[in-house]
Amino acid sequence: MPLYHIQNVLNGGEITPLMRGRVDQPRYGTGAREMRNFVPMPQGGVTRRPGTRFLGMAHGDAARLIPFVFSATQGRMLEFGDKTLRVWLPDGRLVADENGKPKVFESPYAVGDLHELRFAQSADVVYLAHQGYAPRRLSRHADDDWRWSELAFVPTIAAPDNVSLQVIDRGYNGDNATRVYTYAVTAVDEKTGQESGAGAEVSITAKALNSVSYIIRAAWPAVEGAAYYRVYKKKYGVFGYIGRSDAECSFDDENIGADTEDTPPEHKNPFASEGDWPSQVFFHQQRLGWAATANKPITIWLSRPGDFEIMAASTPPKDDDAIEATLAATQANRIVWLQPDRQSLTFGTEGSEWTLSAGEGVALTPSNVSFEMQTANGGDNAAPAVSVGGGVLYLQRGGKAVRQFAYNYSADKYLGQDVTILARHILRDAVVTAWAFQQEPYAVLWCALSDGTLAGLTYMPEQDVMGWHRHDTDGRFEDVAAMPGTPDDQTWFLVRRGCGLCVERLDSFFDSDELAEAYFLDSALNYQGAAVTRFSGLDHLAGRTVQVFADGGTIDGLAVDADGGLTLPRPASSVHAGLPYTSRLVPNLPEIQTQQGSSMMHNRKISAVRLRTYRSMSFLAGLEGNLTPIVDRHIRSGAFRTQPFFSDGTDLALDVCGGWADESPLVLEVNSPAPLTVLAISTAVDASPYSGKGGF
C-alpha cells in the first residue's frame, strides 16, 4: 500500500550531493537535487525565472553597470565603459543627445579598472573610489547633464586675507607693560556652513589690554559668500576662539579670554597623491567614509558630519571633527568591504571581520573610536558587501562562499554564518565576480559567476528562507546590478552573446491572468499591436534560430534574417521573440517512515504524483528519463493551438510509475516560453521491505 509524502515547502533551493544522507536536515525535505532557471519563493513554492528583455548593445566590448538610485522609486542605470559613461532610463531607453543619438559622457576610468570600482550615493551625487584614481564625485544635474569633480577635501570658501590690526586708545592710563597679540580669522560659507581654514596670522605689540584703556581692532576685506567670520587669538601658542563678526568685517578685542578648546579647523587632503588614494567608500552616521589606500591598507577615514567633502581636524579634537583610525591587528590585511549596521560600522579585511563603534547609543567622535574583532574568516574584494535582512552578506576570501555577518544576541557579538554550506557545489568550479540584491518580489541575491552562469540566493532570514538556485542562458552573464522599479525591483545584466555584449533586463515575475505578460525568452523583444506576420529589430539575433510566443501559442525553429527581420506563419498581435532556455526542477527523493523503518537506501518506487500549480501552462513531467508533456504546446498545420491556462491553485495528477529503483526522482521541465509555478508536490511511494542481501 503506497504511502503519501507531501512537500508543501519547496524553497530550500538546490542542495549539494554531499547532503543526500542528511534527511534529518530540514532543508533536505524542502530542497532539490536540481533547481535550474527556477526561483524559490519565500511563500514556499518555486516559480520559473522570467526571461530577459534586450535593451541594446553595450558601448564597447567590456563594461560595468552601476545603479544610480536617488529615491526609493527612482533610479538610473549607469553603464561604464572604457573611459565612457552612458545613462539608461528605467524604461530601457538610453539618454540621448540633441540629435536623438545615445549620449556618451566622458569617464576617468579605464575598462580594466571597472571591476574594483566602489561607490556610495547621496541623493543626486555618487562618490567613487578606486586605488588607482583620486577620489571623485559624479553629480546629476539633469538626465543629459552629468558632471565629474575630483575631490580636494577643502572648503570652497576662501579664508580672509589682509587682516589689519589697530590699537584703539580710549584715553585712560593703564599698565605700561607691553606684549605681542596674535590673531587669525576664518570665514563661514553662507550656503554650506563650512568654515574656511585660518588666514595668515597677524601680530601687533601693544600695552596690556583692558576694556577701559586699550582695545585691539581687527579688520579685513569681505570674503565673497561668507555669512560671518570667526576670530581666534593665540594663547600659550594655541589659537582659541574669542568671538564672531557678521557683516562689518571687523572685531574689537576687549581683552577677551581665548577658548583654546575651540580652535580653527586644520584642513587637509589625506588622498592628495598616488599611493594615498582609497579603494573603498561608504556612508556612516552622516559621515562620508573612505578606506584602504595602498600606503595605509587598514586605515579608515570619516568626514565631518554633514560635510562630506571636509576632512578638517582641530587641536584639541572636537566631536564633529573628521576621523582617521588605523586598525591595530596582527596582520596587515587590507580592508575589502565596509557596511554600516546597527550602532557599528562593520568591515572585513582579507583575514578577519571587525566592528568600529563608539559604544551603544553613542555617536562616533575622534576620541571614542573603538575596534573590535568579531570573526576570522576573511573577505574578498570581488564584490562589495550588501545589507540584507538585518545583516550583511559578504564574499569570503577566495570567492567560493558567502557569509552573513550579523549580530547575535546570545553570543553578544557578530557571527559569520556560511549561507553556502548546503549548496557548496554551485561555487565548486566558479567564483562570484559580481552580485546584486533584488529586494522585490522574492528577495534574491543574483550572483554572476566566473564560468558565465548565474546563481541566485533567495534569502529572507526573518522567515528562515534560504535557497540557492542556478541559471543559464545562451551566452555568458558578465555583470549584474539592481535598482528599484514598479512593481518589481529591476535586475539588469551584461550578457555576452554571439553579437557582442548585450544590456538586458530581467522581466517581472509572472503573476497575471494575461498570457501576453508571460515573458519567458532571453534577449527577447516583444510586439503588441495589430496582427501582422513580419517583424524587424532583431538585429542582435540575426542568423539565430529563435522561439516565439505568439497569441498564446509557441512557434519553434524560426530563423532571424540577416537584417534582423522575422516572419511568422500567420498574423499575430501579441508576440515575444527570443532565445529559449530550459527550466528544470528535480526535488529531493521523498524519504518516508515505514513499518520496517526509514525508506532511505531501500528500494521504493513512485507510483503517482499530484502537483498544485499556480498560473501555469504546459510543461514536461515524469520520472528521470521518462518525461511526457502535460499539455501539447506546438503548432499544427501552420495554425496556432491555444494552450490551456491552469487557473489559480490547480491540482494536476501525473500518471507516473517507476520501477523498484533507489534513484528515481521526479523531474519537472519547461523548454517552451510558458509560465510554471509549483506550490506543492504530493507523491505516492511504495517502499519495499527488502532491497538486497541480509534484509537490505
Tens-place pLDDT, residues 272-319: 999 999 999 999 999 999 999 999 999 999 999 999 999 999 988 999
pLDDT of 695 higher than 90: no
Q: Say whether both 445 and 502 belong to one domain.
A: yes
pLDDT of 632 higher than 90: no
Query: Of 186, 7, 118, 54, whose CA–CA distance to 519 is shortest?
Result: 54
Read off the pLDDT of residues 428-454 as tens digits, 9 standing for 90 and up.
999 999 999 999 999 999 999 999 999
The domain boundary, picked from 448, 480, 506, lies at: 506
How much is the pLDDT for 570?
A: 92
Q: Say whether both 374 and 502 belong to one domain.
A: yes
262 occurs within a structural domain: no
Q: Say whether both 180 and 115 belong to one domain.
A: no
Q: Say whether both 368 and 480 belong to one domain.
A: yes
81 occurs within a structural domain: yes
Indicate the number of domains in the chain.
4
The domain boundary, picked from 461, 482, 506, lies at: 506
Q: Say whether both 386 and 302 belong to one domain.
A: yes
20 occurs within a structural domain: yes
Are 683 and 586 in contact by the 8 Å Cβ rule? The answer is: no
Q: What is the pTM of this model?
A: 0.91
CATH number of residue 317's parent domain: 2.130.10.10
The domain boundary, picked from 506, 530, 550, lies at: 506
Q: Say whether both 209 and 69 belong to one domain.
A: no
- Does residue 637 or residue 401 have the better pLDDT? 401
158 occurs within a structural domain: no
Mean confidence (pLDDT) of the chain: 90
Q: Say whether both 104 and 232 belong to one domain.
A: no
Q: Say whether both 328 and 473 belong to one domain.
A: yes
Going from the C-alpha of 375 to that of each of 299, 340, 347, 356, 372, the distances in angstroms are 19, 17, 11, 14, 10
Band (pLDDT 50/70/90 cuts) for residue 639 is: very low
Measured in degrees and rounded to the nearest 5, phi and psi for residue 80 equal -90, 130
Read off the pLDDT of residues 519-572 as tens digits, 9 standing for 90 and up.
999 999 999 999 999 999 999 999 999 999 998 889 999 999 999 999 999 999
Q: Which residues fall within 8 angstroms of residue 625, CB to CB, at 6 or more apart?
A: none
CA distance 274 to 150: 14
CATH number of residue 36's parent domain: 2.60.120
pLDDT more than 90, % of the chain: 73
Burial class (CB in 10 A: 0-12, 13-18, 19+), 145: exposed
Show the domain range for 545.
521-579
Q: Say whether both 344 and 436 belong to one domain.
A: yes
Per the document, the length of the chain is 696
Query: Of 358, 334, 328, 359, whose CA–CA distance to 347 is shortest?
Result: 334
513 occurs within a structural domain: no
Q: Say whether both 424 and 283 belong to one domain.
A: yes
263 occurs within a structural domain: no
